[in-house]
Amino acid sequence: MLNGIPEQSQIVEKHPKALRIMFLTEMWERFSFYGMRALLVLYLTKHLKQTDDEAGLIYGIYNALVYFTPLPGGYLADNYLGNRRSILLGALIMMFGHCSLAIESDITLYLGLGLLILGNGFFKPNMTSMLGELYRDRPELKDSGYMLFYVGINLGAFLGFLICGYVGERINWHYGFGLAGIGMLFGLLLFYFGQKTLGDIGNLKNETTKKKHDLEADKVSGRIGLILILAFFHTMFWVIYEQTGSSINLFTDRNVDRMFFGIEIPTSSFQSINPILIMFFGPFLSRFWFNMSRDKKEISIPTKFYWSFIFAFSAYIALYIGTSIYNVNVPSIWIFIFYFGLTLGELHISPVGLSMVSKIAPRKLMGLIVGVWFLSISLAQYLAGIIGGRFGKYMSYAEFFLALGVLGLLCAIVLFFVKERLVKKIEEYS
């Protein structure tokens, strides 16, 4: 004990053992996902010589479809496949997708992206649904559990950005894509051999039995309506956030001084700042939220959403200031400050949103509703790709960053005035 606060390791012991398998499986899947994504825009613009518009459009469409396919994937899992089979099928398809990207040709490029889109639809919503089932009997640990799971996501992202990004940029683009495929294979094997820790969770027969009970029609519609309202704010946050893989990536490549003690840091490596910060701050927030919940002082989900936009606003204002001062050869410290603010914002909305969906979504529609939640990210990815591909034509970097910061501030203001109403609705349906 430290001043009456349990150590993080003590809190982890309170979580289901299956969390470890899900943590590691998701970690390797995110290694492959973010390792490939760190290279995609750079590969399209540097190797294939596409314009920013073209690369931004491909990036936006790819990410939009990645977060659209969980909708049909969740439906198929709910009604035909079950969570476990869907996860194994999705992991296998994604592994073949990365292997396809490792082969140099236009056909294998688009085939690989298509397989990743398809496989993610089976994998992503069902991991989230199963994680929620783990905490049916331990609701006070749910936000903390999702935060720990999110640390696993970002450990994988950090390794993917660092390893796949370095190999792809400095050695061979397709070797980097191939390493992402190896990471996906590790995730597939871990889940296959570790699924016994899940008990009956994720089996179609078990899920069908649990979902026989239904809710009144007005309760179902009310829950879905509440999720859709919060999904709107979720979309707006990711429109702001997802410039990191496109416009911020290109800005870092072209306008930031990346020299460190005489060594030029690869552009893709800067994206690893975000997962490093999440791995550092995530456990602290997990412990903090656990203790607030234990002491009956839990911070509401809408309030966390509100702070996510405040942090995002601060991040872009910092980058606006740094860019306004230097314009070119911007010191990398400004990128660090930017990622610091954006990461705190992400931690207050992404794992929190997933936890919220698992709390209030009707169980008989869990996979489908999780798919709807990811659909909000799909729309954000598409809009972010379009915006990121066009910003250089219509405004300066500084103006662009200021505009995104103001968008975050406006969302924070709206949430400030409606969050109490949202809190009451969440309490009603939880």
Other Cβ atoms less than 10 A from the Cβ of 2: the count is: 8
- Prediction pTM value: 0.77
State the pLDDT at residue 404.
92
Which letter, b or e, does each residue of 115-144 get, where b requires 16 or more Cβ atoms within 10 Å of its Cβ? bbbbbbbbbbbbbbbbbbbbbeeeeebbbb
Residuewise pLDDT in 10s, the chain (430 residues): 334 444 555 555 677 888 889 999 999 999 999 899 888 888 998 888 888 778 878 887 888 788 889 888 888 888 888 888 999 999 999 999 999 999 988 899 999 999 999 999 999 888 888 887 887 777 777 777 888 888 888 889 889 888 998 899 888 999 999 999 999 999 999 999 988 888 777 776 555 444 444 445 556 777 888 888 999 999 999 999 988 877 888 888 888 888 888 888 887 778 778 888 888 888 888 788 777 777 777 788 899 999 999 999 999 999 999 999 987 788 889 999 999 999 999 999 988 887 788 778 777 777 778 888 888 887 887 788 777 766 666 778 888 899 999 999 999 999 999 988 888 888 777 6
- Termini Cα distance of the chain: 31
The number of CA neighbours under 13 Å toward the Cβ of 234 is: 24
